Amino acid sequence: DTDINIQHDGCLNVWKITNGNRYLDTGRLLSEYFGTKQLLLREIQFISEFEGIVLRFMYEVSEDDLLAYAFYNKKEYIPDAGITLNATIQNLDSEVLAGKEFTIYKGDSEIIFGLNKKIKKKGTYSAEISGAGPYTSKAEFTFQYIFNSINKGAFIKNKTPVYSGIYNGSIIKNAKAKRRYHCVAKGSGWYRIKFSDGTTGYIKKNNNISLSDSAIGNVVNIYDSKYSYADMSRDIKKMAKIYQDVMELSVLASTADNNKVYCARLGNAGAKKKIIIHSAMHAREWLNSQLVMKMLERCCKYYYSEKYNGVLYSNLFKNVCFYIIPMFNPDGVNISQYGLAKIKSKSLRNIVRRFGKGRYSRWKANARGVDLNRNFSVGFRKDTARGTKRGSEGYSGPYACSERETKAFVNLVNRIKPKAVINYHEAGRVIYYTRSSALLNLVRQKTGYRTVRESISGANGSLGDYLTRKGIAWCTPETCSGTAPVSHSQFYYEWRKHRDMLPAVAKLYR
């Protein structure tokens, strides 16, 4: 047996010849093969803890290498088959920590070797290549942390390419302008971002990318004294685009006047604990839409940076998912704010004109003249004096869940099976409930409102009756004082009471 050792640039290459005399001219074979230096490791380059190392050969793999490989393995020479090699990583105690079989082809000069979790401490490791006959090649590399793990939002000002890696990475997609992405690590010149589907990519650091919350302007205008369906629709769609890393927007229903009942999902979609928050079920109570929208925006904007009782929002929302409906009754809100002007359907305008009698601002029902908070199945009262006629309030509807808005809400409840529901109404600064719960105690503590218990036996088709029958914790905080529609000046007082309601509820149920 003969060992031939070749040492160069810190790489040790060994060719062990057994029964070398069986070859006609072993010396010439070795001389010609090593003369090309094709399969000698030239260097090992550490890329990062995420991408691993590059095993780089002296030159590109040639046809001579493929022929030699086939000769030593006594296989038929197939030019497109390539050379199958083994790579192993060892620590200085010769403990094998990782192994991988890979194939290199004609024209290749390097391969990338990913590192597993066993290789996670800074230090020196040895990489060895084997499999080309009795040939081995090994060299050392130093593992280090190139990236610092972070949990931030990366706001992209203009379209930016996303790469598959920092080493010879190809562009896999573009990060869209005016969007925020979840940034999980940063290194010298690079950010590593994670997409909603769990995949990752890399973007180069430049002035086009900001990790600061202040880079994103406010969406909801708290000084808008008449926050309309058009305002809400515009804002919630804009927020869904900007905060696509934490928020997802859906449409629960299209109303009789072809407006949308939007639902924003915030938090972990896979969480077992789901919470529903909605407002403006009654049309004239539209100030709450602005309040709930601002609560949603605050949680989205400061998702990675703000804390509630010492816990980051991002951690609070890991085990809880919110379904937020800012405007349950958009048709009715249009009527309360603009009378007949915003109603597109002629038949609906006739209904509103007939029953509104010019006093549109006090309208509570939807555009079909049905009070949505009397349209649920539990305790539905079609035969009550007030519930038999269409009008601005009180009419239960032709049958239980006759309205698109009600059906959509019931479908949502049946689909996600919420742990709790908060029904925002106006006014009086009280909290209605039927059964005591941790949710009730929390909302009372946050707001300071007095509580009013409703009789379970007095069911009248309200949402509360339906939720009680389903065994779902709920409460109805009636914000503001006076009679709806209330003055916009009350918004600022209510904002101070409710701004932390979402993280507080998340902490309660996490």
pLDDT, one tens digit per residue, over 295-305 is 999 999 999 99
Place of tokens 């549109």: 360
321 and 402 part of one domain:
yes
List all residues 6 or more positions away from 420 whose beta carbon is below 8 Å from its beta carbon.
Answer: 275, 276, 437, 439, 472, 473, 474, 505, 509
CATH number of the domain residue 451 falls in: 3.40.630.10
| Confidence label for 272 from pLDDT (cuts 50, 70 and 90) | very high
Q: Higher model confidence: residue 192 or residue 112?
A: 192
246 and 190 part of one domain:
no
The reply to whether 18 falls in a domain is: yes
441 and 427 part of one domain:
yes
Quote the radius of gyration of the chain (alpha carbons, Å). 33
327 and 418 part of one domain:
yes
Q: Average the pLDDT over 315-327 and give the result.
A: 96
Q: Higher model confidence: residue 195 or residue 69?
A: 195
Looking at residue 37, what is its pLDDT? 44
CATH number of the domain residue 16 falls in: 2.60.40.3080
299 and 416 part of one domain:
yes
pLDDT at 371 over 80: yes
186 and 85 part of one domain:
no
447 and 468 part of one domain:
yes
Average pLDDT of the chain, as a whole number: 88
Looking at residue 20, what is its pLDDT? 46
Q: Average the pLDDT over 189-201 and give the result.
A: 92
| Confidence label for 5 from pLDDT (cuts 50, 70 and 90) | low
152 and 135 part of one domain:
no
Q: Average the pLDDT over 364-371 and give the result.
A: 96
Looking at residue 49, what is its pLDDT? 87
The reply to whether 340 falls in a domain is: no
The reply to whether 379 falls in a domain is: no
284 and 311 part of one domain:
yes
Q: What whole-number distance in Å separates Cα of residue 20 and Cα of residue 379?
A: 95
The reply to whether 353 falls in a domain is: no
pLDDT, one tens digit per residue, over 421-430 is 999 999 999 9
Q: Average the pLDDT over 64-72 and give the result.
A: 70
316 and 281 part of one domain:
yes
With contact defined as beta carbons under 8 Å apart, do 246 and 325 qualify? Answer: no
The reply to whether 14 falls in a domain is: yes
Q: Average the pLDDT over 464-469 and give the result.
A: 94
**CA-CA distances (angstroms) from residue 324 to 224, 264, 303, 364?**
21, 5, 16, 20
Kindly report the pTM of this predicted structure. 0.85
The reply to whether 71 falls in a domain is: yes
Looking at residue 198, what is its pLDDT? 87
138 and 195 part of one domain:
no
Looking at residue 16, what is its pLDDT? 55
Final residue before a domain boundary, out of 104, 123, 143? 143
CATH number of the domain residue 210 falls in: 2.30.30.40
pLDDT at 77 over 80: no
Final residue before a domain boundary, out of 182, 215, 248? 215
Of 131-145, 163-177, 329-343, 403-417, the one with minimum mean pLDDT is 131-145
pLDDT at 281 over 60: yes
pLDDT at 401 over 90: yes
Q: Higher model confidence: residue 379 or residue 466?
A: 466
7 and 117 part of one domain:
yes
Q: Are strands 450-453 and 430-433 parallel, antiparallel or unpaired?
A: parallel
Final residue before a domain boundary, out of 128, 143, 158? 143
> Could you tell me the residue range of the domain that residue 249 belongs to?
238-334+398-509
**What's the structural domain count of the chain?**
3
The reply to whether 21 falls in a domain is: yes
The reply to whether 231 falls in a domain is: no
Of 74-88, 279-293, 428-442, the one with minimum mean pLDDT is 74-88
Strand, coil or helix: 103: strand
Looking at residue 406, what is its pLDDT? 97
